[in-house]
Structure 1
Amino acid sequence: MEDLEKHLQHFVAVAVLHEWNEVTKCRAFPLSLVGQAQQWFTELPSGCVRSFEQLKKGFLEAFDALISKKKSAMYLMSLQQRPNESLKRYIERFRVATQEVRDLPIRLVASALLNGTAYAPLRRSLAFFEPDSMAELFA
């Protein structure tokens, strides 16, 4: 299913850009929905929506389990290369985990990768190398 939180953020940005009032936002929002989200809206009792904030809150609560949660940067420090896990697999798993973290400083990523790997040559390399970007780190 699409990332519902991003969909909502995009909708709000469009509404702000076009200076839509509360009524317009409440009427336009359901037109942007598809699938389960559209079905959720059509099943709301008639007249129950009093404001866009109420509609937005209800939407987020209804789909809370589907909205991707963002983790803190400290989550990366808990990632360890598993016994018998290849370096390639660990790096892939680590890279995916970095996409779940907001506001990620590159030095923290490098430190977490250094902390989590059991592969000595990578540990030595990371100890003496300060990457300037995620692309550089994973290259």
Structure 2
Amino acid sequence: MPQVKSYDGSKDILDHLESFKTLMHLQGVPDTIMCRAFPTTLKGPAKIWFSRLTLNSISAFKELSAQFASHFIGGQRYKKSTACLLNIKQREDETLRSYITCFNKEALSIDEADDKILVAAFTNGLQKAKFLFSL
């Protein structure tokens, strides 16, 4: 069974919450148990924040996750647009394989990427002469 990595307050909070909820729902865990299990996924400042909550002040996981998200919203990742892919260029000494790996890594971090824009950005960043020579 997959495990949720510990959250310390510095990464994407929504990603952590979704990973936790998905794992709990997959196992059919009730809401009250989710509230009790959630602190086991926390460390550092996040664990300290949780320990300072008033006892019995949370009645549902939805309420817990809302308070948690509002407190740690600064760690939320910003959404990238496909325009950032236009900045990726194949370096003079970079192999085609390395450029493809780098481009794909960035492309996967974009939530709503259109295939036509991906292809245009990819070809725009290629060293044209090196690409034709490698074919």
Report the TM range for the smaller structure's normalisation. 0.5 to 0.7
Q: 1:43 deviation in Å?
A: 1.8
The one of 17, 27, 30 equivalent to 2:39 is 30
* Residue 29 of structure 1, CA deviation: 0.9
Q: Indicate conservation of the 8 Å contact 2:11/2:77, yes or no.
A: no
Matches within 5 A, 1:43-122: 43-77=52-86, 79=87, 86=92, 88=94, 91=99, 94=103, 97-116=106-125, 119-121=127-129
Q: TM-score, normalised by structure 1?
A: 0.62
Determine if the alignment matches structure 1 residue 19 to structure 2 residue 5. no
**Native 8 Å contact 1:26 1:52 kept in 2:** yes
By relative contact order (CA 8 Å, sep 6+), the higher-ranking structure is 2
Change over 3 Å in CA distance of 1:113–1:87 after alignment to 2: farther
Percent of pairs with identical residues: 24
Residue ranges of structure 2 left out of the alignment (5+ in a row): 1-9
What runs of 5+ residues in structure 1 fail to find an aligned partner?
130-139
Q: What secondary structure does 1:112 align onto? A: helix
Q: Which secondary structure state, in structure 1, belongs to the residue aligned with residue 17 of structure 2?
A: helix
Q: 1:4 to 1:80 in 2, by over 3 A?
A: closer
Deviates more, 1:55-64 or 1:106-115: 106-115
